[in-house]
Amino acid sequence: KELQERYNFLSKQKEDIVKSREDIMKAITDINRTTRKMFSETFEAIKQEFDVYFKMLFNGGKADLILEDENDILESGIEIVVRPPGKTLQSIMLLSGGEKAMTAIALIFAIFKVNPSPFCILDEIDAPLDESNVVRFCKVLKEFLKLSQFVIVTHNRMTIQLADILYGITMEEKGVSKIVSVKFNDEFAETLTNQ
């Protein structure tokens, strides 16, 4: 009799586990469905904006994002394919350093457009760009100023001119950083014209 009771108890426990296993599997299916939807919607939006900003930054051309495995978008890799103006369609690995940087910037702007954060810190991302590229970079950046605050670390004169506040950091004493100048936009414009 004791054995029978034990058997009933164990069967009941088994039932519970089977039930909870079903619940977990259902939850996983739900998560998969939600993430797949979120990911594909965001991906499509970024894809469109990427082409827009690529055209702006390169003054033409075409850019696309491709899922390597459309059937498994939750694990699939993402390929970037671009065509700079006057060139053929190619993988980003074949681009020059400056073109690569501009492509990355186009993609970052695209992502930012789709899902903006209230502020953005850019650490010398304009470093590999030549002068005409920096001009276009600044033009695109200006569009985002309404949307977000930007803190930009840069060496580039063009980019500096966008600044509302400018901080100069030096090491007067070896190993100790110091802020040496704070210039606000109007004042700064004045210093530039006076020179």
103 binds another protein (CB under 8 A): yes
Please report, as residue ranges, which positions from 13 to 72 form the binding site for another protein (by CB under 8 A): 13-14, 17-18, 20-21, 24-25, 27-28, 31-32, 34-35, 38-39, 41-43, 46, 68
Distance CA 141, CA 126 (A): 11
Query: 């470093």: which residue's tokens?
Result: 127
Q: Which residues contact 138 (CB under 8 A, 6 or more apart)?
A: 158, 159, 161, 162
140 binds another protein (CB under 8 A): no
Total residues binding another protein (CB under 8 A): 85
Residue selected from 52, 56, 111, 140 as contacting another protein according to rule CB under 8 A: 111
Token representation of residue 20: 């909870």
Phi, psi values for residue 147, rounded to 5°: -90, -40
Smallest distance, another protein to C-beta of residue 100, A: 5
Distance CA 158, CA 17 (A): 65
Residue selected from 72, 164, 187, 190 as contacting another protein according to rule CB under 8 A: 164
Which stretch, 53-61, 117-125, 129-137, contacts another protein (CB under 8 A)?
117-125
Smallest distance, another protein to C-beta of residue 24, A: 5
Residue selected from 176, 186, 194, 195 as contacting another protein according to rule CB under 8 A: 176
3-class DSSP state of 174 = coil
107 binds another protein (CB under 8 A): yes
Residue among 143, 148, 93, 145 at smallest CA distance from 120: 148
Would you say 133 and 139 are in contact if contact means Cβ atoms under 8 Å apart? no
139 binds another protein (CB under 8 A): no
